[in-house]
Amino acid sequence: MSFDFKMEKILSLKTKEKEAVESEYGESVRMFESLAQTLYDLLRKKEEVEQHSDEQFRSRMVINELQQTQRFLLSLTQKINAVQSQVQKAREIMNITQQELVEKTIEVKKYEKLKEKQLADYQRLMTGIENQQNDEFSILRYINQ
């Protein structure tokens, strides 16, 4: 008689769900990191353009160049705002999937603990039966001597 965990299919299903959420979480982390890197690059570029603009202003460059730089800065600021909102959404998605992953992990752990407990109970039962059989054999041997 071997151990048969009655909820093995449920444990398997919960494990697959957890793996799917892990994959989803990994993808959300990659998306967040990608957007955050894009935002960082835009902010760095904006800072460089602002420094260049300040240098142009100090050196009294042509107004057209200053206007062109200011338009470019405005465009960069708009891109930055758009990417910031995307980063925030990606962060929210990442946090939601992380919470979902934690919940799935807890569910799987519950079933694994239940399986371990039932296996330990089964092993105790089998040990008890084995000990009882050994006692009976010992008694029969003693009687037959």
3-state helix, strand, coil in the chain (%, to 5): 90, 0, 10
One-character DSSP codes across 9-27: HHHHHHHHHHHHHHHHHHH
The pLDDT score that the predictor gives to residue 52 is: 82
From first to last of its 145 residues, the chain has per-residue pLDDT tens of 788 888 999 999 999 999 999 999 999 999 999 999 999 999 999 999 888 878 777 776 677 777 888 898 999 999 999 999 999 999 999 999 999 999 999 999 999 999 999 999 999 999 999 999 998 888 888 888 7
pLDDT, tens digit (0-9, with 9 covering 90-100), for 55-65: 777 776 677 77
The pLDDT score that the predictor gives to residue 36 is: 96
Residue 119 neighbours by CB under 8 Å, 6+ apart: 3, 5
If 0-12 CB within 10 Å is exposed, 13-18 middle and 19+ buried, where does residue 116 land? Answer: exposed
The pLDDT score that the predictor gives to residue 67 is: 82
The pLDDT score that the predictor gives to residue 116 is: 94
The pLDDT score that the predictor gives to residue 61 is: 64
pTM above 0.75, yes or no: no
